[in-house]
A and B are shown apart, each in its own frame.
Chain A
Amino acid sequence: MLLAALRSDAGDGSAEYLRLRQKVVKFFEFNRRQFADDLADVALDRTAEKLQEKGQLETIQGFAYGVARKVLLEDLRRERKERKMLEALFRDLQLATDSHPVELRHECLMHCLAELPKDKGDLMLRYYEAGWGEKGRIAAELGKSDNALAQNIFHTKPKLKSCIENCLAKKLIR
Chain B
Amino acid sequence: MTHDRETDQTLRRYCLGELPRHQHRLIEKSFFEDDGLFDRLLSTEEQLIAEYVHGTLPERERLRFESYFLTTPQRQQRLRELSEAEAVNVVAPPVAPQSTIAPPGGGSPTLLKRLWAWLRNSSPMLQVAFAVITLAILGALWATFVRLSRPSPLAPEQAANPPSTPSPDVAKVQTPQQPDANNTHPTSTPQPSPRSSPPAKSPTPPPSPTPREYATPPSPTGAAVAAILSPGLMRGGSQVPSVKITTDTPSVLLRASLTEQKFALYSATLLDEERHQVRRWRARGPQGDAKVTTVVFDLPADGLSDGYYYLILYGVGPKGEAVKVDTYPFEVQRQ
Contact = CB atoms under 8 A, between A and B. Distances in A.
Interface of A: 19, 23, 26-27, 29-30, 32-34, 36, 59, 61-62, 64-65, 69, 93-94, 101, 103-104, 107, 144-145, 147-148, 151-152, 155, 157-159, 161-162, 171, 174
A26 B97 contact: no
A47 to B, nearest CB: 11
B122 to A, nearest CB: 34
A171 B31 CA distance: 40
Given A23-B38, A32-B71, A161-B237, 12 more contacts: A23-B32, A26-B31, A27-B32, A32-B17, A32-B72, A34-B72, A61-B33, A65-B32, A69-B25, A101-B96, A155-B240, A158-B238
Interface string B61-103: 0000000100111110000000000000000000011001100
A107 B101 CA distance: 13
A103 B237 contact: no
Contact of B35 (A19, A59, A64, A65): A19
B96 A103 contact: yes
A142 to B, nearest CB: 11
Contacts of B297: none
Nearest to A19: B35
B239 A174 contact: no
Interface of B: 14-15, 17, 25, 28-29, 31-33, 35, 38, 41-42, 68, 71-75, 96-97, 100-101, 212, 234, 236-240, 273-275, 307-308, 329, 331
A157 B68 CA distance: 35
B212 A162 contact: yes
B161 to A, nearest CB: 32
A174 B273 contact: no
B273 A29 contact: no
A59 B29 CA distance: 12
A30 B308 contact: no
Given A65-B28, A147-B275, A26 B100 contact: no
B15 A30 contact: yes
A155 B329 contact: yes
Contact of B308 (A19, A145, A152, A171): A152
Contacts of B14: 30
Contacts of A64: 32
Contacts of A144: 273-274
Nearest to B213: A159
Contacts of B15: 30
19 contacts: A26-B31, A26-B42, A29-B74, A32-B71, A34-B72, A59-B33, A64-B32, A65-B28, A65-B33, A101-B96, A103-B96, A104-B100, A144-B273, A144-B274, A148-B274, A152-B308, A162-B212, A171-B100, A174-B100
A103 B94 CA distance: 13
B306 to A, nearest CB: 9
B40 to A, nearest CB: 12
A167 B254 CA distance: 34
Contacts of A19: 35
Contact of A157 (B25, B75, B237, B308): B237
Given A148-B274, A155-B308, A33 B72 contact: yes
A36 B100 CA distance: 22
Contacts of B97: 101, 103-104, 107, 171
Contacts of A107: 97
